[in-house]
Amino acid sequence: MEWLGEPSWKLLAALFFGMVLAGLIWRTRPGRFSSCLFGAMVLAFFAVILCGWWLVTEPEKIRAGLNAIAHAANQRRWQFVTAGFSKEFRTYGGMDRKAVMDRLMGLDKAYGFKRVVLRQITVGSPAPDNSRMARFTMRLEGDGGEMEVVEIEAVLRKIGPDWLVDQVKVFRPLGNGSQPLPV
């Protein structure tokens, strides 16, 4: 049902052209069948649009969760940042939840970053172990502008109703971006 929550432009275009075609048939050959066909196409088109607005899909929940973590970091609420991590959380370099919280507080004290911005969040398809891969760019902004830009690849696992970050790899976006940093 995920296709209904995030309808593609191809589905919407097909329904729109079907609606236009049914409208043309109804105008050129009025009758009960053509008016019912046109009405059904209009209802189907608007039903898909409304479902796209109302249904919250799993990728949308993941994006919202990642943005909530960034928002908590912007407010310096470190416990809420790590609350989005699973109990088994580990980075590629072996850091756990506590080490990540200490690192973030250290970065804040040392460099005084003002804002964490997440861009280009892409969520992969579900894996057999009830997890999903998410990739995004994280930017730290400070007094002098942009301080650090890194690419992050995160594995999120659905635990209960929530998606929690389980593993993280950090990459440099420029240069040797294929090797994860030992963070």
- The domain that holds 149 is classified in CATH as 3.10.450.50
Question: pTM of the prediction?
Answer: 0.71
Amino acid 68: pLDDT: 92
Residue with the bigger pLDDT between 169 and 181: it is: 169
- Are 46 and 76 found together in one domain? no
Evaluate whether 116 touches 74 at the Cβ level (below 8 Å). Answer: yes
Residues 73, 146, 122, CA angle at the centre, nearest 5°? 60
- Are 35 and 72 found together in one domain? no
Domain range enclosing 86: 58-171
Residue 129, pLDDT > 90, answer no
Amino acid 3: pLDDT: 52
Share of the chain above pLDDT 70, in %: 90
Q: Among 15-19, 108-112, 161-165, which range has the highest average pLDDT?
A: 161-165
- Are 7 and 97 found together in one domain? no
Pick from 152, 167, 156, 150: which is nearest to 125 by CA?
156
Gap between the Cα atoms of 127 and 130, Å rounded: 6
* Within-domain flag for 155: yes
- Are 91 and 114 found together in one domain? yes
* Within-domain flag for 165: yes
Residue 140, pLDDT > 90, answer no
* Within-domain flag for 182: no
Arithmetic mean of pLDDT over the chain: 82
- Are 65 and 139 found together in one domain? yes
Amino acid 174: pLDDT: 66
Q: State the pLDDT confidence band at 67, using cuts at 50, 70 and 90.
A: very high
Evaluate whether 81 touches 72 at the Cβ level (below 8 Å). Answer: yes
- Are 47 and 62 found together in one domain? no
The burial class, CB within 10 Å (0-12 / 13-18 / 19+), for 41 is buried
Share of the chain above pLDDT 90, in %: 14
- Are 142 and 127 found together in one domain? yes
Residue 6, pLDDT > 70, answer no
- Are 48 and 122 found together in one domain? no
The predicted-structure confidence for 163-172, as pLDDT tens digits, reads as follows 999 999 888 7
- Are 49 and 91 found together in one domain? no
* Within-domain flag for 177: no
The predicted-structure confidence for 79-105, as pLDDT tens digits, reads as follows 888 888 998 998 888 888 888 888 888
Count of the separate structural domains present in the chain: 2
Residue 4, pLDDT > 60, answer no
Amino acid 1: pLDDT: 46
* Within-domain flag for 37: yes
